[in-house]
Structure 1
Amino acid sequence: MTVQPFPLVEVSGAPRQRGQSYGEQAKARIAGSVDLYAGNLDRLGYGKADIDRFTATFAPTLKAWAPDLVDEMEGIAEGAGLDFSSIMLVNARTEVLQLARREKGIADDEPDGCTGAVVMPEETRDGELIHGQNWDWKAECAETSIVLRILRDEGPDVLTFTEAGGLARSGFNSAGIGITANYLESDRDYRELGIPLPFIRRKALEAKHFALALRVVAVTPKSGSNNMMLSTAEGYAVDLECAPDEAFALHPHNGMIVHANHWQSAVALSKLRETGLGEVPDSLYRDARVRKILEARRGDVTTDDLKASLFDDFATPFCVCRPPLRKEGGNLSATVAMIVMNTAQGVMEIAPLPAVNRTFTRYDLVMDRTAADKAA
């Protein structure tokens, strides 16, 4: 697999116009994203009619909840020369794959991993908040992901790393609000269908204020559990461990938040049952490894220190920075990308497949706190 920097796609204008431009610029990578997940479903015995069936279950709710994002996805489909259900598949792939497996009684053998961290300004050398994560998922996504810069007329501009065709994954906006996310699982999952996760992350990144971004993540109903870490360049962060119908807040300890793929909130664990550790037992030490490295640098943490913690290879291959590993079910898993952000400076650095490549590419966004008031 060739390691290349993730291409930058810049879009502007109205939602449908943005989508068309996105689809045209990232056409090949979007097709790769669709083929990857359609192939996963094919191996489970599902065809195109099933993709249409699964994705259609989300359409009415999404049209009511975020009609602008539906317009943008329709534009992406047009620009990429694909049908709408293919773009929905990319943006609801976690939920669709889970529904498909549950329909056939097949266990999930490829959870979307990740280890994330935020370091508060009081613990960094430059007095600026640092936020980053490793995204552990299908190694093939190193060739089907992009960085998307969205210049918006109706609110803050957005810079996000995402799978091609996706609305958002990790990133920040010009108001200084950042987000990363990690897999979680509980016994409350998939009792009902909620809003797919990329839509929630995108809406959080469109928020004009940190409190409004937190509200989007905390109160929006979800199909399954997920952990989302939100930060603000003003100097604070909150981690929200989300069950489908409830969110549990974790605040910085010793000037940082570190999270992997198991529940940490004592309140959450008193109310629900952790069901994901069978697939990610390494989560129990990954966050501790990152925290240990960062705490040794308290008061002097730099982005290089955060990178060093995320490069940790203790207990490889089940480690913080995971090399490509073929799992029993055939899935090729890896740390697909390391993303490190300084939102005060408007900088995101990303290394594809960091276990085998330590070259970062820098992506920038013009930061303007007053940009948050463009639509006020």
Structure 2
Amino acid sequence: MVEAFPLIELSGSPEARGRAYGQKAAERIRRSIGHYAAQLAEGGHGAEKVRGWARDFVPRIEAFAPHHVAEMRGIAEGSGQPFEDIVLINCRTEVLQLGKRATLAAQDPDGCTGVIVMPERSRDGALLHAQNWDWKSECAETGVVLRIRRDDGPDILTFVEAGGLARAGLNAAGIGVTANYLESDRDYRELGVPLALLRRTFLEQENVALSFRAAYVTRKSGSNNIMISQAGGVAIDFECAPDESFQIHPTDGLIVHANHWQSPVALAKLKDTGIANTPDSLYRDMRVRGLLEAKGGKLSIEDVRDALFDDYQSPWSVCRPPRMSLGGNLSATVAMLLMQPAKGILDIAPLPAINRNFTRYELNPAPAQARAA
């Protein structure tokens, strides 16, 4: 039986939230750190070198969002882990890339297939936002869901690797966020703000315009695709190079994105270097869009779920069972996330290719905090 992701409730100051988070998720945080430390060690990178890479990001994080540093220090204190190891979890994409470039090792990128259904295409008139997160299958044992009660902005519900501040989720202002791996020939020429902390910043906003601004202008270390929606009926997909962002808007009420660049403007200006390692991306978005369009008319959250279960060309499929990646790691669709931002609902199935049991997490729950959807 696949275990549901635990729900952790947090409140108070950033430091207090961090300490409580570290205490409640200590074992999963330890697994997260151990997982990435072991992967980097296989590439010849010892703990002190890795912690040095993590420390290099701290001044950039301090300048961007000092309260994120305070929260990470709290997580370190609460979990009993070194501060640099908590920073590692929050910039693991960037540190893994630094490790790869130092050894010329094969890449094992995050996959993902994301979907946004605009209100005019939705059966109940409410925006839908969903994603399959493809990554290392072991991360099914390190994921958690955070429900964050904030005094300094809207409350947040986010799914994340234990020790991280955010990955995908929604907030009380109706903002929804998911992200997909992208790669280009502009990546890792200099360090920028870690992507996990950018996603947390999007979810900290009361107004989606400020989330859009952060996605569009913040300098990043590497490329990334960012999908931001707001329940009132606005959504933009940002294909981001480290120094430039390109917009993709809904077509026929849908945005569907996998792990390759779509913007003609972007493709005229940079080289997509990720397809060699994610060739299935070239049809995953087409499959999901085609399945949704074949439904005709208005779409429900069940329609989106069924499209994300697509097993065409399995195991190189939209919903990926555990398989060896081109980088030599065991990879899978770690989680399927179905969000209804207007209702504050996030349904998640761990390892959905082998487990179709969803758990419902609610921003403003009934007495049962998490129940079978």
What are the within-5 Å matches in structure 2 for residues 166-245 of structure 1? 166-245=164-243
Q: Which residue of 2 aligns with 1:70?
A: 69
Kept in 1: contact 2:179–2:225 (CA 8 A)? yes
- C-alpha change, 1:328 and 1:294, in structure 2 (3 Å) is closer
Choose the corresponding residue for 1:137, options 135, 138, 158: 135
Kept in 1: contact 2:133–2:336 (CA 8 A)? yes
AA aligned to 1:101 is K
What is the distance in 2 between the residues matched to 1:5 and 1:259? Answer: 26
Q: CA RMSD of the aligned region, Å?
A: 1.0
Q: Which residue of 1 aligns with 2:15?
A: 16
Structure 1 gap segments, 5+ residues each: 368-376
Kept in 2: contact 1:124–1:298 (CA 8 A)? no
Cα distance, 1:141 vs structure 2: 0.3
AA aligned to 1:247 is S
Q: Which residue of 2 aligns with 1:281?
A: 279
Cα distance, 1:236 vs structure 2: 1.9
Kept in 2: contact 1:313–1:322 (CA 8 A)? yes
What are the within-5 Å matches in structure 2 for residues 223-372 of structure 1? 223-327=221-325, 329-366=327-364
Partner of 2:279, secondary structure, is coil
Cα distance, 1:297 vs structure 2: 2.5
Quote the sequence identity (%): 59
Q: Which residue of 2 aligns with 1:162?
A: 160
What is the distance in 2 between the residues matched to 1:327 and 1:235? Answer: 37
Q: Which residue of 2 aligns with 1:101?
A: 100
Q: Does 1:47 align with 2:57?
A: no
- Number of equivalent positions: 365
What is the distance in 2 between the residues matched to 1:355 and 1:116? Answer: 16
AA aligned to 2:298 is D
What is the distance in 2 between the residues matched to 1:209 and 1:267? Answer: 28
What is the distance in 2 between the residues matched to 1:171 and 1:92? Answer: 18
Cα distance, 1:330 vs structure 2: 3.3
Cα distance, 1:300 vs structure 2: 2.2
Q: Deviations over 1:159-182 (max 9, x none)?
A: 000000001000010000000000
Cα distance, 1:366 vs structure 2: 2.9
Q: Deviations over 1:123-177 (max 9, x none)?
A: 1110000000000000000000100111100001100000000010000100000
Kept in 1: contact 2:106–2:327 (CA 8 A)? no
Cα distance, 1:295 vs structure 2: 1.1
Q: Deviations over 1:42-87 (max 9, x none)?
A: 1011111112111011011111211100000000000001010110
Q: Does 1:127 align with 2:129?
A: no
Cα distance, 1:328 vs structure 2: 5.1
Cα distance, 1:100 vs structure 2: 1.1
What is the distance in 2 between the residues matched to 1:327 and 1:216? Answer: 32
What is the distance in 1 between the residues matched to 2:326 and 2:292? Answer: 33
Structure 2 gap segments, 5+ residues each: 366-373
Partner of 2:95, secondary structure, is helix
- C-alpha change, 1:165 and 1:141, in structure 2 (3 Å) is same
Cα distance, 1:329 vs structure 2: 4.2
State the TM-score, normalizing by the size of structure 1: 0.96
AA aligned to 1:39 is A
Partner of 1:344, secondary structure, is helix
Kept in 2: contact 1:349–1:360 (CA 8 A)? yes
AA aligned to 1:366 is N
What is the distance in 1 between the residues matched to 2:277 and 2:326? Answer: 12
What is the distance in 2 between the residues matched to 1:351 and 1:256? Answer: 23
What is the distance in 2 between the residues matched to 1:327 and 1:155? Answer: 40
What is the distance in 2 between the residues matched to 1:313 and 1:28? Answer: 33
What is the distance in 1 between the residues matched to 2:278 and 2:326? Answer: 14
What is the distance in 2 between the residues matched to 1:298 and 1:345? Answer: 24
State the TM-score, normalizing by the size of structure 2: 0.96
Partner of 2:255, secondary structure, is strand
